[in-house]
A and B are shown apart, each in its own frame.
Chain A
Amino acid sequence: MTLAVQFTQVSRQFGDVKAVDRVSIDIQDGEFFSMLGPSGSGKTTCLRLIAGFEQPSAGSIRIHGAEAAGLPPYQRDVNTVFQDYALFPHMNVRDNVAYGLKVKGVARQERMARAEEALDMVALGGYGARKPVQLSGGQRQRVALARALVNRPRVLLLDEPLGALDLKLREQMQGELKKLQRQLGITFIFVTHDQTEALSMSDRVAVFNKGRIEQVDTPRNLYMKPATTFVAEFVGTSNVVRGELAQQLSGSQLPFSIRPEHIRFGDGPVASHEVEISGLLHDIQYQGSATRYELKLDNGQMLSVSQANNQWLEHAVVHQPGQRLTARWAREAMTALQETALSEGK
């Protein structure tokens, strides 16, 4: 299988700051690959390294097998959808989309036809004569997408393209992007700080923290089997249990993670495949589909418990703050974690 993009021990330093620190990734051809992390974690720098806006301080970047370090952006077979869309304000939508073809010397008739085709693909046919300022945020986003895709790149880079859209539109665009990627079969590299976005769209996700990669895995594995404390806490909500309590519950020195929705309240004898711990109910948050309970354990740690609201109101068990409750979960729901630098001493 060919690799679309391959990072080997890539670093990028800005002064004393290591924005990207010895990162190695293999991105498969045709994959929907997300780079997930908080701001300043190096994910956007990695994307810019692939696009050619930044050059690595060390290491090798290969795009479809060819060394890309040192190549300017205009000599790379990748295109970018920018966070602020970066549409040219002095050109109409059609000229914006046709720009990449124009600078490559494609004849006018062909580039206009292809631009129109690309606009149809993002459901903006007939908008060609408008100026970017006359479009809504979601429409500009589509134009930016069409402008990148019209060049038929082998790799499409997306830098938080949905960040500026409101929730409903974002969810709709997530679906459309995924569909488009399947249809075109090209590699999408998607940068986001939104973990639900990364999980719902991607084939694989790389989780970045402080310029390093914590874990590269499928969304399911990332969620169910986080490798480090950082991943457990960043992807979804997790209870990370450390020290003596971890030893007592899991029988191991290593910290472990337990998801709030894998915990239930129970009384009576505990089953052999389960562990239990009690605490005082501290806070209750009603979240619609689920209710989140914050349980204060005897050692002072908070334990989040999430219960699906799948019972009719009259049958629902109502707990009161201050009540002592026993939390239980299956042993196999616990995932042992490696401690990451960021989480230390937390």
Chain B
Amino acid sequence: MSLALEKTAQPPVYSPFRRFSNLLWRRPNLYLAMLLIPPLTWFGAIYLGSLLNLLWQGFYTFDDFTMAVTPELTLANFVALFNPANFDIILRTLGMAVAVSIASAIVAFPIAYYMARYTTGKTKAFFYIAVMMPMWASYIVKAYAWTLLLAKGGVAQWFVQQLNLEPVLQFVLGIPGVGGSTLSTSHLGRFMVFVYIWLPFMILPIQASLERLPPSLLQASADLGAKPRQTFMQVILPLSVPGIAAGSIFTFSLTLGDFIVPQLIGPPGYFIGSMVYAQQGAIGNMPMAAAFTLVPIVLIAIYLSIVKRLGAFDAL
């Protein structure tokens, strides 16, 4: 008893490190600030700062004759976005981004549903790897591989021939706005490659949202008399909308910004990404390139506000 008392009577001596840990424990805000200030500085200065700087350059003047950029502020570049030629590029990219997002969601949903509801342990791990493995390979290699797969006399055409679907392919390629002379130079081919490349970005968020869906909700729905189709439409689909929205933000914005697939596969004609690339690389019109980068930002902002209005984030 007395021994214990003597011991506690001594004031404890702590190392500086321990004193510092104790200080952080007493002041959680200081701790949080220490964790957050470095990444926030990086994010603010390097990322947002340079982005704003870039957009600011969109107001600079480009002299077509001397090819020189002067810091005289003008709205001409943003007005030029609405030139028929430029506006075509925007519409073409936007149309593709919407089509790719819808198709990815349709293809991804059953895979994500199966992963979330029917796999456990090793099967689930297998599916994760199978979904993500294509992302480990170089993106350019995949895009080039697809040009060969879809080329005249390529694997895709051979496959279609084996199935005796040649006339169908010819018919589809004949549709204006979809087709082209071969799959690899058609909008359809470009669309297929986009869907292939962005699919994992759609599967994983949908899978995550379905994973969070308690099985008891599906049982409750059936218990209350809903047939499987009704349960799907009334419960599963609405509750997976946040996942679909998250996935579509990926597929949508990645398609809007991509400049490699439009160059390698599909008919000639710029996409927003390849236009930015051409403006700042080949032409050196930095202000116009900067004006074009504003387009995806605005489109995604509009898209997000529509999605939000549809109630996609209500269940979050």
> A residues engaging B (CB < 8 A)?
51-53, 72-74, 78-80, 82-84, 86-90, 99-100, 102-104, 147-148, 151
Among B216, B226, B234, B239, which residue has its beta carbon within 8 angstroms of that of A74? B226
Interface centre among B217, B224, B227 (most CB of A within 10 A): B224
Known: A74-B226, A79-B224, A90-B239. A103 touches B234 (CB 8 A): yes
Taking CB atoms and an 8 Å cut-off, the chain B residues in 15-72 that contact chain A are none
Give the contact-size bracket for chain B: 20 to 34
Q: How far is the CA of A74 from the CA of B221 in the complex (A)?
A: 8
Closest to B220 in A: A86
Q: How far is the CA of A151 from the CA of B224 in the complex (A)?
A: 8
Q: Which residues of A contact B214 (CB under 8 A)?
A: 84, 86
Which 8 pairs of residues, A with B, have the shortest CB-CB distance? Answer: A100-B224, A86-B220, A86-B216, A73-B222, A103-B226, A90-B315, A80-B223, A103-B230
Q: Quick one: CB contact mask for B225-244 with A, threshold 8 Å, 1 for yes?
A: 11100100011001100000
Known: A103-B224, A147-B224. A82 touches B239 (CB 8 A): no
> Are A104 and B225 in contact, with the CB atoms below 8 A?
yes
> Are A88 and B235 in contact, with the CB atoms below 8 A?
yes
Q: How far is the CA of A104 from the CA of B234 in the complex (A)?
A: 13
Closest to B238 in A: A90
Min CB gap A52→B, angstroms: 8
Q: How far is the CA of A102 from the CA of B311 in the complex (A)?
A: 21
Q: Which residues of A contact B166 (CB under 8 A)?
A: none
Q: How far is the CA of A51 from the CA of B221 in the complex (A)?
A: 12
Among B221, B239, B314, which residue has its beta carbon within 8 angstroms of that of A99? B221
> Are A99 and B222 in contact, with the CB atoms below 8 A?
no
Known: A89-B315, A90-B314, A90-B315. A74 touches B219 (CB 8 A): no
Q: Which residues of B contact A52 (CB under 8 A)?
A: 222-223
Known: A89-B315, A99-B234. A82 touches B224 (CB 8 A): no
Q: Which residues of B contact A87 (CB under 8 A)?
A: 220
> Are A103 and B227 in contact, with the CB atoms below 8 A?
yes
> Are B220 and A82 in contact, with the CB atoms below 8 A?
yes
> Are A86 and B217 in contact, with the CB atoms below 8 A?
yes
Closest to B229 in A: A103
Min CB gap A46→B, angstroms: 15
Give 11 A-B contacts (CB < 8 Å), ordered by A residue: A51-B219, A53-B219, A53-B222, A86-B214, A86-B216, A88-B217, A90-B238, A90-B311, A100-B224, A100-B225, A103-B234
Min CB gap A140→B, angstroms: 12
Q: Which residues of B contact A74 (CB under 8 A)?
A: 222-227
> Are A80 and B227 in contact, with the CB atoms below 8 A?
no
Q: Which residues of B contact A53 (CB under 8 A)?
A: 219, 222-223
> Are B225 and A103 in contact, with the CB atoms below 8 A?
yes
Min CB gap A271→B, angstroms: 52
> Are A73 and B234 in contact, with the CB atoms below 8 A?
no
Known: A99-B224, A103-B226. A84 touches B216 (CB 8 A): yes
Q: Which residues of B contact A147 (CB under 8 A)?
A: 220, 224
> Are A73 and B235 in contact, with the CB atoms below 8 A?
no
Known: A90-B239, A90-B314, A103-B234. A80 touches B220 (CB 8 A): yes
Min CB gap A68→B, angstroms: 13
Min CB gap B303→A, angstroms: 21
Q: How far is the CA of A231 from the CA of B110 in the complex (A)?
A: 49
Q: Which residues of A contact B311 (CB under 8 A)?
A: 90
Q: How far is the CA of A44 from the CA of B122 in the complex (A)?
A: 29
> Are B238 and A73 in contact, with the CB atoms below 8 A?
no
> Are B223 and A79 in contact, with the CB atoms below 8 A?
yes
Closest to B242 in A: A90
Closest to B216 in A: A86
Min CB gap A41→B, angstroms: 20
Contacts A53-B223, A80-B220, A89-B239 aside, 11 further interface pairs with beta carbons under 8 A come to A74-B222, A79-B223, A84-B214, A86-B219, A86-B220, A88-B221, A88-B235, A89-B315, A99-B221, A100-B226, A103-B221
Q: Which residues of A contact B226 (CB under 8 A)?
A: 74, 99-100, 103
Q: Which residues of B contact A151 (CB under 8 A)?
A: 224-225
Q: How far is the CA of A53 from the CA of B217 in the complex (A)?
A: 12
Q: How far is the CA of A105 from the CA of B227 in the complex (A)?
A: 12
Min CB gap B312→A, angstroms: 10
Closest to B222 in A: A73
Taking CB atoms and an 8 Å cut-off, the chain B residues in 122-152 that contact chain A are none
> Are A73 and B219 in contact, with the CB atoms below 8 A?
yes
Interface centre among B220, B226, B234 (most CB of A within 10 A): B220
Min CB gap A215→B, angstroms: 29
Q: How far is the CA of A83 from the CA of B216 in the complex (A)?
A: 9
